[in-house]
């Protein structure tokens, strides 16, 4: 039986990472878990996000995944190390790949980061960036208004532009040449963000970089799915199957190869 890559997220946001993994690694079987009953994680205290992430990882163990991907930036920021210590398969988060891409791209050494309150408050991106290049200047801003906008499907309206412009107004640095979209939802706002921040700033999409890292690790371990295997996609969530199912169809559009199985997993307490 082919082993799957398990991808977990606080809810629907990680579907952007799932989509990118499916695009880059179309042969892989993937099991996606969205903790829709307890999303969003962004405003929650770190200990709670660690606890929820560990519960999901323990639950996913029964499927014997060959790798675990923490697609949620907030969960990666506070729980990556804990999860790596907990399981014996590779665990990939979304922060280091995004940081690496930004360091590779930036010429000025001034990098912006946007994310949830939890991600920005943790300082995880600064830490990852400074590990790669200690002299970088990092400017981080939490954008708590963005996730609700995306979940409402509001990507391009004037209202969205105004909210994006207000949130990004503290970025005054002329030198900043890269902006890391440090949240699963933000790629949907890329046009609005680009309009506001200007064409000289490259937007770094962590999802693309993470998929590259997953591919490199599996290749190294000789664990890439073979051509004879039939890829399976399973989508699980902790809350109601709607609107999860509808959003999954919309966001993954052409990428759904087989009918996804959507199960409800009721054992987590909704808090």
Among 179, 183, 193, 204, contact with ligand DGL (rule: CB under 6 A): 183
Q: How far apart are CA 70 and CA 75, in angstroms?
A: 7
Residue 102's H or E segment, with its range, is helix 95-105
202: left (phi over 0), alpha (psi -120 to 50) or beta: beta
Residues 144/103, Cβ–Cβ less than 8 Å: no
Q: Distance of alpha carbon 58 from its chain centroid, rounded?
A: 20
- Taking the least distance from each CB to ligand DGL, the nearer of 13 and 121 is 13
In the set 29, 140, 184, 238, which binds ligand DGL (CB under 6 A)?
A: 184
> Is 122 one of the binding residues for ligand DGL (CB under 6 A)?
no
Cα-to-chain-centroid distance, residue 267: 24
Considering the rule CB under 6 A, would residue 13 count as an interface residue with ligand DGL?
yes
* Of 39 and 197, CB closest to ligand DGL: 39
Query: For the chain, how many residues are written?
Result: 271
Closest to ligand DGL by CB, 40 vs 97, is 40
* Region from 98-106, 160-168, 183-191, 250-258 binding ligand DGL, contact rule CB under 6 A: 183-191
Q: Are 181 and 204 in contact (CB under 8 A)?
A: yes
State residue 112 phi and psi, 5-degree precision.
-100, 150
Given 74, 205, 210, 238, the residue binding ligand DGL (CB under 6 A): 74
Tell me, yes or no, if 237 is annotated catalytic. Answer: no
Residues 202-261 that bind ligand DGL (CB under 6 A): none
Check: CB of residue 21 under 8 Å from CB of residue 218: no
Shortest distance, CB of residue 224 to ligand DGL, whole angstroms? 26
**Residue showing the smallest CB distance to ligand DGL in the complex:** 42
Catalytic option among 54, 143, 178, 183: 183
| Residue at token pair 């979940």 | 151
Q: Which is nearer to ligand DGL, 9 or 28 (CB)?
A: 9
Dihedral sign of CA atoms 225, 215, 252, 41 in order: positive
Catalytic residue among 72, 143, 178, 237: 72
Contacts with ligand DGL by CB under 6 A lie at 9-11, 13, 39-42, 72-74, 115-116, 119, 147, 183-185
Residues noted as catalytic: 72, 183
């Amino acid at each position: 039986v082919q082993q799957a890559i398990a991808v977990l997220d606080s809810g629907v946001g990680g579907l952007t990472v799932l989509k990118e993994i499916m695009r880059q690694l179309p042969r892989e079987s993937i099991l996606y878990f969205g903790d829709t009953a307890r999303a969003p994680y962004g405003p929650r205290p770190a200990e709670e996000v660690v606890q929820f992430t560990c519960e999901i990882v323990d639950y996913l163990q029964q499927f014997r995944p060959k790798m675990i991907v923490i697609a949620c930036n907030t969960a990666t920021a506070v729980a990556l190390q804990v999860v790596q210590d907990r399981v014996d398969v590779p665990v990939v988060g979304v922060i280091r790949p995004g940081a690496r891409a930004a360091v590779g791209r930036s010429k000025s050494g001034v990098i912006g980061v946007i994310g949830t309150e939890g991600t920005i408050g943790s300082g995880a991106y600064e830490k990852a960036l400074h590990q790669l290049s200690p002299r970088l200047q990092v400017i981080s801003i939490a954008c708590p208004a963005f996730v609700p906008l995306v979940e409402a499907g509001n990507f391009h309206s004037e209202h969205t532009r105004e909210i994006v412009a207000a949130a990004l107004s503290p970025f005054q640095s002329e030198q900043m040449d890269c902006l890391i979209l440090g949240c699963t939802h933000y790629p949907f706002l890329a046009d609005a963000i680009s309009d506001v921040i200007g064409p000289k700033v490259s937007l770094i999409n962590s999802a693309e970089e993470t998929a590259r890292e997953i591919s490199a690790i599996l290749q190294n371990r000789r664990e890439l799915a073979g051509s004879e295997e039939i890829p399976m996609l399973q989508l699980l969530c902790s809350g109601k199957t709607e609107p999860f199912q509808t959003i999954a169809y919309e966001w993954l559009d052409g990428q759904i190869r087989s009918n996804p199985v959507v199960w409800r997993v009721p054992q987590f307490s909704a808090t």
